[in-house]
Structure 1
Amino acid sequence: MNAETTEWYWDLKQRKAVPASERGTSDDVLGPYPSRFEAENWKAKVEERNEEWAGADDAWDQNPDDEQH
């Protein structure tokens, strides 16, 4: 696998991005991510998704009978 196609993981024990060939057990990593940059910035992505989901929850709470949820 070349550098262009390597999947990256965030290693929770080492606290760093690692290529797939160096990843630990599934309990100790987050990913895969398409790039080292995205693996290193995993927390921003998690926070972004959480905000989106919270917004969707709020919208649903305001219109629970709306069938478009």
Structure 2
Amino acid sequence: MSGSWFWCLEHGQVEEGRGCPNDRRLGPYDTYEEAADAITRTRERTEQMERADEQEREWGKGWDGS
């Protein structure tokens, strides 16, 4: 069944099909493996965004006279 795998944030595991409510899971994913790797990819993207935000703050220092 395609697109029926989720990473459950509450239980920290992969669920197939109906499981926890949507606000407590990531997905849907096409495969078990994609769902199992979802939290790792999400954390990596969050870290990338945090680094980019910090770089942007550093780059913009001094432009407003501070």
TM-score normalised by structure 1 residue count: 0.62
Tell me, in whole angstroms, the C-alpha distance in 2 between the residues paired with 1:59 and 1:12: 29
Alpha-carbon displacement from aligned partner over 1:5-59 (angstroms, at most 9, x marks no partner): 233111234432122x332212332222232112112221122101210221122
Q: How many residues align?
A: 61
Q: Gapped runs of 5+ residues in structure 1?
A: none
Superposition RMSD in Å:
2.1
Percent sequence identity is: 25
Higher-Rg member (1/2): 2
- The alignment status of 1:17 with 2:14, answered yes or no, reads yes
TM-score normalised by structure 2 residue count: 0.64
- Please list, as runs of the form range in 1=range in 2, the aligned pairs for 1:45-56 lying within 5 A after superposition: 45-56=41-52
